[in-house]
Amino acid sequence: MAVSPELEGLRRIAPSRFVSFAFPNPFLGHASNPYGGGDDGDAGECVRVAVLDSPLPAPPVPATAAMLVPSGRHRDWIFSTRAGHLHLLLSATRFSRLILVGPELSAPSPRVVSCARRRPDPDPDPAHARLLPLLLALCPVAAFRGNAVPDVPLLTFQDDLLRLAPIEFVAGPVVGEMVVEDVAVDCSPSRPAELRRRLRFKRMPCLVQTQVRLRQSHASPSLSLEALEGSSGELLQPEVGGPLAQPYLQAMVAGLAVTAPSIEKSIQSGARPRCLCAGVGGGSLLMSLRVGLQFDVLGIEADGVVLDVARSHFGLVEDEFLRVHVGDAIQTIEGFAAGQGEPGMNFSAVMVDLDSSDAMCGVSAPPLEMARGSVLLSVRTILDHHGLLILNVIPPPADKTFYKACHRSKPQLLVTPGSF
C-alpha cells in the first residue's frame, strides 16, 4: 500500500526524522471510532498521522508501534509537537518508530478536557484493525525481513489526570512558549480528586515544571471537579507555603535533614539559614523554604517571563527574605565564588532544579554543564562548612553520564531523582 510519493523515504529508519501528514479518516462513520464524543473532530474527513524515528541506533529488524491520541487532547503539546512525540517514543524503548494517529490540529477541542472516559474503554481491536493497512504501510522495509508481517501494537497513553483546563499561554525569551493549566488529579482510589495548577514548557511538554495545590477563593464546603468549569482560573487560588505537590521537590527538601544540626545551630544564633535555588519555575520550592522552614532564599531564573507567571499564577511573593534575580544560574554561582556577591555570602544549601535545554535529548536534568569540575568547585566555595548541594537529576534515556560525573566529584553531594 503506497501512502504518497513524498513519503517514500519512510521505507527506511532515519534517526530523529519526523513527518506528519493528513490521511483519510479510517474511523469515519464506524463503530470503532475512538473520537465518537464529537468534541475532537469526529466528523473530520482526515486524521493527522505523525511518524517519528528514534534518535537511537536501530536494530537489524526495527520495531514499530502506534498510538491513538487520547480524546480531546490532540492539541496538547505532548501529542502535537516533535518534542512530546520524542518523549513518548523514548518511553517505549524497544521501538524504533512511533506513529501517532489523531484528529487534525485544526479540529475543535473543549476548553475543559475530560481525560477520564465516561464509559468503559472500548475494545481496541476493531480500531486497530481499521488502522492496520496504514500502519503496515508505514513500517520500514527491514521490518518485513524473511517475508514476515511485523506486529505493530497499538499503545495506550495513561496519566493521572481527570480534567484539564488551560488558563494562559505565554512565551518567554529563554524558555519559549509555556502554558499554565488547572488540572484535576486522581491521587488514589481511596482519596478524592485533587485540584492543582501546573506549568509546562512547549520544548519539554511531558515535564511538569511546577505544580501547586489549589483552593477555591470563596467559602466552599468542598473542592469539586466542577470548579474547573468556566473558572478561567479566577475562582481557584494556589496554596502557598504548604506541603509540596511535586514528589521530587519533597525529596530535595528532605535532603536538608542531612545538615539539620548545622541549620538548627544557625537558627539558635539568630541567623536565618540561607539557600540558593538555581531555577525558580513557579516558585513553590522557594515559598516552601521561606514560609515553612524560615530560610533566607535567593532564586535565580533565566527567564523573566517565568517569574511573572510565578507571581501572577503560583503565589510567589518576594520580601526581605525571598529575592529572585533574572540570570544564568550557573554563571551566577561562578560569579559568587569569584567574589562578585555580598561579602561573606555563604549558603547552607544550593538546590539545583534546572532541566536540559536540548529537547532532542529527551527529558533530562540538570544540564551537563553542571557536572563540570569548575562549577562544582564554585558551589563548594559558596557553601558553608556543612553546606549541601542538592540536585534534581533526570538522566537522559540510556545515558548515565551525569551520574558517573557526580560520583567523581568532590563536594558533598545529594542527588535526588526527578519525576514528571
Give CA separation, 262 vs 9, 294, 346, 352, in Å.
Answer: 62, 15, 13, 20
Instruction: Classify 205 as helix, strand or coil.
Output: strand
Model confidence at 420, pLDDT cuts 50, 70, 90, reads very low
Asked if residues 181 and 211 have their Cβ atoms less than 8 Å apart, the reply is no
165 in Cβ contact with 178 (< 8 Å): no
Per-residue pLDDT, 416: 43
pLDDT digits (tens, 9 = 90+) for 353-386: 988 766 555 567 788 888 888 999 999 999 988 8
Residue 81 above 60 pLDDT? yes
**pTM assigned to the model:** 0.84
Which residue(s) pair with 393 in the sheet? 417
pLDDT number for residue 403: 46
Average pLDDT over the chain, rounded to an integer: 83
Whether pLDDT at 75 is above 80: yes
* 48 in Cβ contact with 20 (< 8 Å): yes
pLDDT at 124: 60
What tens digit of pLDDT does each residue of 161-201 get?
A: 999 999 999 999 999 999 999 999 987 777 788 899 999 99
Q: Which three cell numbers stand for residue 114?
A: 475530560
d(CA 377, CA 243): 32
354: helix, strand or coil = coil
pLDDT of residue 182: 94
How far apart CA 302 and CA 175 sit, in angstroms, is 8
CA neighbours within 13 Å on the CB side: how many for 415? 16
| Complete domains list, the chain, with CATH | 5-155 (no CATH), 161-238 (no CATH), 247-417 (3.40.50.150)
DSSP-assigned letter for residue 139: S
Given a cut of 50, is residue 261 above it in pLDDT? yes
Residue 86's closest CA among 76, 75, 97, 94?
97
